[in-house]
Structure 1
């Protein structure tokens, strides 16, 4: 098969797929059936697979396996899934991501097939992955001892920390030149100094003081507090982390208050546009940023996940911005809060009414192997979906792989959350180091920012998957989480905007009293029970 031979060549040349002889030997197992069969599969609609009948990955894999898929693509898969659970409609394959509660609900409804015995006999790639990562087996094992799903991982270095700070590169370089330090800013003092430079230097050259030093949006990814607060104390997405077997709440400490004092100061000095940040949505932020005339460009620094969140690539380039490092705290420590070093999601299950479970699990298992991982990143057909190049990859290896089609519009792959994926850095970062695609293929900018933040990851130690059959505990915990998080966010917004005085002890105590009143202690106790600490 052309696909396999090409991949083998890359493996031998680059050791991308070290130790994969067994995986390639499994090619003798194709097709999976002696006579073609059809499975029905429920999945979420994604723009990658606009037309299953002509989708290159779908057509190619059907030729390989002898298995035809009748796709049921849902525009609102959670609503439709709930209707299917409650009703009589069933499918052979559930090709969707699952939460633990969804798995338990579907097991109770008799919708899912236990996979334990099938894995041992017919899923060598999944079995090997569970042996390589025992924690994956723990994540997948339900309270009844059964495994019901495959999984998807994402090893992208950009994933663990979503709270980066991006600065317009030419303006950043101008600031660095002015202070004679090509690494600045490193501290809160230098960060503030940078914002002052942006505010006062007329960097767009239009003669007006209209530069916006720092701004975000109401989208939680664009919230600047997390990046800024980590220079004072750990600021996790849910405002807590696990340390030495205990829940540590973050948003009521003296260090948290000191961080708020500084952010409020930035706002009062016109260095952070807080009033705009807490009322505008992301579309409004993008409209503010994406200005083609340099004389009218105004925005210097934006906090978010990656450049594509705020850049319209038809107007600006992702590479116009640089992710600056996390700021040092008073002890010289930098923090980039991470929930684990790779993302893990339960993904894909076989229906209890599946017409051929053995073929179904073999159909799913190929995607967990190295060939399946390669295909999900680069496609199935060399010369059409991708090509090999004798140039370095973005991670420094050689040769490399170049995409020939647009992942979202070319209808050549399944897309996210359709089949299992065991992500591998060697395959993901085999992308050619080609400046001509830096602003059309996001692999490079994601890698650069993720690599810069990686040394400073601070793990929340919150398990990636937690099982609990205690629905009362989960419901109570979620209710308290909403109350606590809303209280924290409302208070820090008011403190930053000056609606409350962060320097006033009475105002600070009133906030602490509000946390107590909405049940902070009860919430922390429920978290302790949920994580079995």
Structure 2
């Protein structure tokens, strides 16, 4: 078992060599990076910001887009047709699959022949760092002047969500890409959750625990008695998780001591996060005395057989085996949502319906936390305008229109077919507990070809303003479960939206992977007793420093 837990430390060096045609201009021009175009744009009259259509005579833009599942045919797509009717802009789509999108873009950049616009840029494989780099090279236009002069709906976004503008601003002060902001995807912002078997609690006459000590008592009862009611008091697994960061039982429990866990945005699902923003500064949790005390308590749960030891090495698919076998054997499971370990079903007898959310548990110091991944619902740079665009003001106004509530609505399908506004005189409750504004009429399927589901935009609270379906609604279940976590949220370091400088980028990638791998390896070794929590703690702290923790945190702080 110990051998399985040994995670080999490695380091990665990311080489950020991008094949872009060199531009002949001096360093001063490159630094200032004012709005410059390949050709002087002709004069084009535009209506006042916020007014549609944008043109009276047809104008065509060439737009590069990675294909996704909900787009059957862009030429006949209902949402695309609606956009053209609203704006008057015709789009010549340059389609490609997601796998080859990045390579095709790099080839275009190298050739010097660019599209006017790149739509759904995150889906092309362009990272925040790529957009910043190409912006400084002059391939992508800075947009802040256009936002100030021509923006309307995007300004409404900035006024409502003030942090967004700062998030999308590059280190040089320019904005090169327009974001997609999914503020209605509430449960995605707090993904580190646990679920407890309410059926077992009821059978044993127990309540959902609110403190860590109450959980300890509940797990003891699950282990001692026949909680699943099959006549065998020895087959219950009180609590379990898996190796993926969203099923990490150690770090879910750690949040009763100090903030910990959740994805670190490295792309590796086995790596966990230990960086948070507290009082405006970077906070690293895995070297704090509270983290050590958390390890001490969690080790106790493992020693008593209350947490399945396989949680440290098993894939989450094994959790489904425990839940959906001949009898449900699992009392508490850590996962983003219970459909990860149980089949989604409206049948109230299905194992999924045995679970309710387990809130963050108050620890010995009277505190509890949960990682808040607010940047996880923000895609930086979903649309960029290249320097070869002849009408950049018009291109921006076309992009600005996607931040309308009407645009977000029509990306949910055809009005009157897939959804409708609530008729006057009728009343339904929405997911957010308020009177619903809209209701679904039929599910949106791929063959309907009525959605893009990508590109810039702002959803507001749209998904939660739809009427609750009759019967079981999984969206409502997740929404209300996430509300339980709301008072405990602590913001995770915004890895996915911050722009690390070129000078620090390679070192940042290497340090993040090395430190996060080491912390989880050492944590598991402390828990199984391979390391002594008292004797080996000072050595653990020393090794963290030797791996470059201070330098790593200085990079994060500098680029925040």
When the two structures are superposed, what TM-score results if normalisation uses the length of structure 1? 0.82
**Cα shift readout 1:464-500 (whole Å, capped 9, x = no counterpart):** 74334x3222221221111111110111122223333
Match of 2:320 in 1: 286
**Cα shift readout 1:343-382 (whole Å, capped 9, x = no counterpart):** 4331211222225434322222122122223334x33422
Match of 1:160 in 2: 189
Match of 1:6 in 2: none
Map 1:184-195; keep pairs closer than 5 Å: 184-195=208-219
> Quick one: which of 35, 60, 65 aligns to 2:87?
65
Is 1:241 matched with 2:276?
yes
Match of 2:363 in 1: 329
Could you tell me how far apart the structure 2 residues matched to 1:415 and 1:34 are?
25
Change (3 A) 1:464 1:273: same
Q: Across the two proteins, how many residue pairs are aligned to each other?
A: 488
Match of 1:43 in 2: 65
| C-alpha contact (below 8 Å) 2:241/2:249 kept by paired residues | yes
Map 1:65-104; keep pairs closer than 5 Å: 65-66=87-88, 67-76=90-99, 77-88=101-112, 90-95=114-119, 96-97=121-122, 99-104=127-132
Is 1:313 matched with 2:344?
yes
Is 1:140 matched with 2:168?
yes
| C-alpha contact (below 8 Å) 1:232/1:256 kept by paired residues | yes
> Quick one: which of 466, 488, 500 aligns to 2:531?
500
> Quick one: which of 445, 452, 455 aligns to 2:477?
445
> Quick one: which of 230, 245, 250 aligns to 1:220?
245
Is 1:122 matched with 2:146?
no
Change (3 A) 1:527 1:354: same
Change (3 A) 1:384 1:158: closer
> Quick one: which of 169, 175, 178 aligns to 2:198?
169
Could you tell me how far apart the structure 2 residues matched to 1:391 and 1:99 are?
41
Shift of 1:448: 0.8
Q: Any gaps of 5 or more consecutive residues in structure 1?
A: 1-24
Match of 1:232 in 2: 257
Could you tell me how far apart the structure 2 residues matched to 1:320 and 1:89 are?
57
Match of 1:274 in 2: 309
| C-alpha contact (below 8 Å) 1:379/1:386 kept by paired residues | no
Could you tell me how far apart the structure 2 residues matched to 1:85 and 1:257 are?
50
| C-alpha contact (below 8 Å) 1:387/1:401 kept by paired residues | yes
Change (3 A) 1:384 1:93: same
| C-alpha contact (below 8 Å) 1:100/1:467 kept by paired residues | yes
Instruction: Please state whether the residue corresponding to 2:80 is helix, strand or coil.
Output: helix
Instruction: Please state whether the residue corresponding to 1:48 is helix, strand or coil.
Output: coil
Shift of 1:133: 4.3
> Quick one: which of 479, 498, 504 aligns to 1:466?
498
Between 449-458 and 50-59, report the one with greater CA deviation. Answer: 50-59
Instruction: Please state whether the residue corresponding to 2:465 is helix, strand or coil.
Output: coil
Shift of 1:86: 4.1
Task: Tell me how large the CA RMSD over aligned residues is.
Answer: 3.0
Shift of 1:165: 0.7
| C-alpha contact (below 8 Å) 1:36/1:68 kept by paired residues | no
Change (3 A) 1:84 1:289: farther
| C-alpha contact (below 8 Å) 2:200/2:228 kept by paired residues | no
Shift of 1:407: 4.6
